[in-house]
Structure 1
């Protein structure tokens, strides 16, 4: 288990380039299974979760060639579908939640798909019902081996388009169903579809491959099935969660940082939500400039004077992946804020580590925490902690970089799952961080 040693209390300065979006990459990589032709993908992040999925694709028989940093070509013209029912796949697939998204394209193209119950962050129960209910409505038969925790869907006569109203606007569920439906006979309508930028990117990529998809960017997608898709070249967006992480880091460490090439049009509410905590964010071309907050930052209040409430919701609402960052940043704000994590019931349980560091936080229940900001009058204290998941891990790292003294973070493999060479990039802008 690897460890970070962080000497906190130093201001940082410089430019930082966000990596390619993890959540987009996991969808896009699965879509290469939909065609025999070559698919070239650029700006793939070099992180553990993405590299695991590339390894699974390789073991499935996808021909993969690295063209340069972050650029790969994929050709799925000779797949070994027997791998899907092997013990090797059961072990490899269960360690990565994103592996669930290989089922849709395999079902649509070959009439069958299998997956072990996938792993991922321990942030509460994350149902797979939306995925499989969608497949069933398209005509697939579902089976589940409870002893082996193994899921399967089969449609030997092919899928047929239909209308479906999703119970929840699941991003991965929508992506999986879309990838199955592009090969279904007739028209499929998906209402209450997720409409995050990364799902839009997937749909645009599929259209460039020959798919027929209307309503991209809305919560109603209409897909007319086609028999074959061709190859394409696709570039992944910058990671909005990493961009939000660097905004929080700059504020907490009173640092002057420029985040390069952020794709402003795809950030949604992220900049304005940070502004609610009093953080100055300037748009310079397609960059974000954050000045050093030497005098701190003050939480806004609602028009009626009531305490600020920051909560998550499906896009275009504020992404749940950044609430942990918002909570940490609020610990040094002037004023108080209620953080309401609606979508996952265990994501706030890392706050005990922040309380140990001296933060004033009241965990009201598994979904809500009230933060009383220090206004930098009392600096967080260094401590030893363990990263429970990707987003809590980066939040603890930001807290450690702002704290007085040297902190230790164990289980940093969790952070590596979502952040490329994070210690190397932070050292380039002045962070005192070492890996062991």
Structure 2
């Protein structure tokens, strides 16, 4: 369903908002249910397109699924329907969802074979899948790519533990290789592994299921293969991208907002980067309290040079929040350079902000300089199209702060990553209508 949001901007918001379960964690954890024939119960699953689509794919693959309540499901993958996995329908469904690539590792580990069409997802530049397949072949899988069908297939009589040095610290690649290695024979060591909180969550869950993974939280993981895994229960972390988005929204709309249950210890540098833009926030137990601020001033570096905000693999600053930082900077006092290193073409949404009156110089596909307007010249409402999940949310925040009415089309891109976003914003006093 592809709808439109109409937003009357320029209103101060107030109240509490609770982040949803983490989308990127959910996609990994749901794939991991294939590693055991016992029941796995998962809580705090976000009710969003991408996650619901993966749950539907699991059901069609033959996994027994029970819904106990909101965001609370159990999964039992006793057997899989490999006829369905070969079918055109599976190819069509899984190709629409980039996260489906993480079904390969568990399928290969437990059933000795797996296949998958070229996945879809965001248009934010090339995201290579080489890391995944290099890992699988190092563990002893045979890899084939059928160009005519656009389909990858893997098979292995037995996976064998190995020292694997990843070319890039790919999050989904690391997750996939971990899931393949937990049932492999012998010891696997993954160096230059991604170490995001979501990867840590996956490792902890697998360890509760009987896997033997050490080095969790570092970039060197050691996995002792085991013959089988048990069932378990797991609760998702809150989504840190949402938490960062609400911090930015509070600053842009001069609002007093409390973000509930944020799991502070897993936020890394996120609060610190927003503080560098001059946004005041306080830690109240596990909540973030943001007071209403009339203005916020971007800090300079110690030598007086202009602040640069760049993305980097965890524990660096997540690329998913750079679009939010960019929007928030448009109304700050001062200047900042945003450097998007990890993906090309993720900054192309700035032309929409320039239409709204923002002062931004797009230097190249990776860098933008933002000259803050210090809330003296509010952005103006306009009509725009959401290009991807994260930019869509950034444009939504811009619209909430802008004078006049804004229209955002293609909001399916926002719904893919954010649960009932209009309902939750209305509860804070936002004027937003879904058409």
TM-score, normalized by the shorter chain, greater than 0.5: yes
Band the TM-score falls in, shorter-chain normalisation: over 0.9
Query: For 1:79, what is the secondary structure of its paired residue?
Result: coil
Counterparts of 2:10 and 2:383, CA distance in 1: 16
Q: Residues 95-128 of structure 1, C-alpha deviation per residue, up to 9 Å, x if partnerless?
A: 0000000000000001111111101110000000
Q: By how many angstroms is 1:154 displaced?
A: 0.8
1:32-181 paired onto structure 2 within 5 Å: 32-155=33-156, 157-181=157-181
Q: By how many angstroms is 1:84 displaced?
A: 1.6
Which residue is 1:336 aligned to? 335
Q: Residues 394-423 of structure 1, C-alpha deviation per residue, up to 9 Å, x if partnerless?
A: 000000000000000000000000000000
Counterparts of 1:292 and 1:58, CA distance in 2: 46
Query: For 1:247, what is the secondary structure of its paired residue?
Result: helix
Query: For 2:206, what is the secondary structure of its paired residue?
Result: helix
Which residue is 1:212 aligned to? 212
1:231-250 paired onto structure 2 within 5 Å: 231-250=231-250
Counterparts of 2:250 and 2:114, CA distance in 1: 44
How high is the TM-score relative to the length of structure 1?
A: 0.99
Q: By how many angstroms is 1:83 displaced?
A: 1.6
Which residue is 1:269 aligned to? 269
Aligned residues: 434
Which residue is 2:312 aligned to? 313
Which residue is 2:279 aligned to? 279
Which residue is 2:385 aligned to? 386
Query: For 1:174, what is the secondary structure of its paired residue?
Result: helix
Which residue is 1:414 aligned to? 413
1:349-360 paired onto structure 2 within 5 Å: 349-360=348-359
Q: Residues 114-156 of structure 1, C-alpha deviation per residue, up to 9 Å, x if partnerless?
A: 111101110000000000000000000110111221111110x
Q: Residues 350-377 of structure 1, C-alpha deviation per residue, up to 9 Å, x if partnerless?
A: 0000000000000000000000000011
Counterparts of 2:307 and 2:395, CA distance in 1: 23
Unaligned runs of 5+ in 1: none
Counterparts of 1:332 and 1:116, CA distance in 2: 43
Say if 2:193 is the partner of 1:193. Answer: yes
Q: Residues 139-187 of structure 1, C-alpha deviation per residue, up to 9 Å, x if partnerless?
A: 00110111221111110x2100000100000000000000000010000
1:9-48 paired onto structure 2 within 5 Å: 9-48=10-49
Counterparts of 2:149 and 2:324, CA distance in 1: 37
Counterparts of 1:113 and 1:299, CA distance in 2: 50
Say if 2:202 is the partner of 1:202. Answer: yes
Counterparts of 2:275 and 2:11, CA distance in 1: 23
How high is the TM-score relative to the length of structure 2?
A: 0.99
Counterparts of 1:360 and 1:144, CA distance in 2: 46
Counterparts of 2:204 and 2:82, CA distance in 1: 27
Query: For 1:242, what is the secondary structure of its paired residue?
Result: helix
RMSD: 0.5
Say if 2:251 is the partner of 1:251. Answer: yes
Which residue is 2:291 aligned to? 291
Counterparts of 1:82 and 1:375, CA distance in 2: 60
Counterparts of 1:84 and 1:243, CA distance in 2: 36
Q: By how many angstroms is 1:78 displaced?
A: 2.1
Which residue is 1:323 aligned to? 322
Runs of at least 4 residues of structure 1 off by over 3 A?
none
Counterparts of 1:312 and 1:259, CA distance in 2: 23
Q: Residues 234-262 of structure 1, C-alpha deviation per residue, up to 9 Å, x if partnerless?
A: 00000000000000000000000000000
